[in-house]
């Protein structure tokens, strides 16, 4: 896939999980090293959502605050030209930030979803943070604009293993679940933290695998080119 060329902008990366930071950084280093990417991390977003069970107005207000702060920062590349949220369970709150700011704001999965839908066929969606699955499934169906054949699954224990520093177990658990999925043409890894498992999944399944960090960078480049 040909990627558009853009100047080297300042990009804000907003995270709710520590485990999303390194995959995002690795993707930028590999695919857009010229960008001046910086990180904002608030791990209480994920824990508070898990405790509450659903998004509420207070959580949306927190996202608006984060978005406005990110947009207001300036560095050697000037002010932030775009914001990428890497936290997959907060789609409606991120959409509120989109409406609030004049710069491109991307949900973590929207570019991956667009690419998977363009490929066609039956889609698998894997997550390790359970609150993400319902909202991501809805987002995928809304983007399709028609009924879509999607199979979503949560990999129990994988995120806990990764948080404990056991990336090998994380990758193995995810690959085992992926291998048990049947009738899938394209598999979306629905969290930034899952990108590291792509090689293990491809070995176990032979499926087309779409990761969110790489797709998001392609989406950011397109969004910024369209703003020029």
Per-residue pLDDT of 10-19, as tens digits, reads 999 999 999 9
- Tell me what the mean pLDDT of segment 175-204 comes to: 96
Question: How sure is the predictor about 54, in pLDDT bands with cuts at 50, 70 and 90?
Answer: confident
Question: Is the domain of 218 the same as that of 205?
Answer: no
Residue with tokens 């659903």: 54
d(CA 154, CA 157): 9
In the chain, % helix, strand, coil (3-state, to 5) comes to 55, 20, 30
Q: Domain for residue 1, yes or no?
A: no
Whether the predicted pLDDT of 44 surpasses 50: yes
| pLDDT classification of 6: cutoffs 50, 70, 90 | very low
Mean pLDDT value across the chain: 93
In a domain, 5, yes or no: no
pLDDT of 204 over the 50 cut: yes
Residue 88's pLDDT is what?
82
Residue 7's pLDDT band, with cuts at 50, 70 and 90, is low
pLDDT of residue 74 exceeding 60, the answer is yes
Q: Is 99 domain-assigned? A: yes
Terminal CA-CA length for the chain: 21
Q: Domain check: are 102 and 42 in the same one? A: yes
The answer as to whether 70 is a domain residue is yes
Q: Do 95 and 137 belong to one domain?
A: no
Residue 136 and residue 129: Cα distance in Å, rounded? 11
For residues 211 and 185, the answer to whether their CB atoms sit within 8 Å is no
The mean pLDDT of 105-114, rounded to a whole number, is: 96
pLDDT digits (tens, 9 = 90+) for 113-153: 999 999 989 999 999 999 889 989 999 999 999 888 999 99
Residue 172 in any domain: the answer is: yes
Do residues 76 and 120 both lie within one domain? no
Give the CATH number for residue 155: 3.40.50.1860
Q: For the residues 31-60, what does the mean pLDDT come to?
A: 93
Q: Which structural domain range is residue 169 located in?
A: 110-211
| Nearest residue to 14 (alpha-carbon basis) of 103, 126, 94 | 94
How many angstroms separate the CA atoms of 24 and 117, rounded? 22
The domain total for the chain is 2
* pLDDT of 208: 93
pLDDT surpasses 60 at 3: no
Q: Average pLDDT for residues 151-180, to the nearest whole number? A: 97
């Amino acid at each position: 896939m040909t990627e558009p060329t853009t100047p080297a902008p300042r990009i804000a990366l907003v995270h709710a999980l520590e485990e999303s930071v390194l995959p995002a950084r690795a993707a930028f280093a590999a695919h857009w090293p010229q960008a001046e990417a910086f990180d904002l991390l608030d791990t209480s977003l994920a824990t508070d959502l898990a405790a509450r069970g659903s998004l509420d107005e207070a959580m949306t207000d927190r996202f608006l605050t984060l978005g406005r702060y990110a947009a207001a920062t300036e560095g050697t590349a000037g002010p932030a030209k775009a914001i990428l949220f890497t936290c997959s369970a907060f789609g409606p709150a991120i959409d509120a930030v989109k409406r609030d700011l004049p710069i491109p704001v991307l949900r973590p999965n929207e570019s991956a979803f667009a690419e998977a839908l363009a490929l066609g066929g039956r889609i698998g969606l894997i997550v390790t943070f359970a609150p993400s699955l319902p909202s991501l499934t809805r987002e995928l169906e809304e983007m399709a604009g028609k009924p879509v054949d999607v199979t979503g699954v949560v990999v129990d224990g994988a995120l806990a293993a990764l948080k404990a520093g056991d990336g090998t177990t994380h990758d193995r658990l995810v690959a085992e679940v992926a291998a048990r999925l049947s009738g899938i043409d394209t598999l979306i890894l629905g969290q930034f933290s899952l990108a590291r498992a792509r090689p293990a999944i491809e070995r176990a399944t032979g499926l087309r695998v779409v990761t969110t960090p790489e797709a998001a960078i392609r989406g950011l480049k397109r969004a910024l080119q369209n703003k020029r």
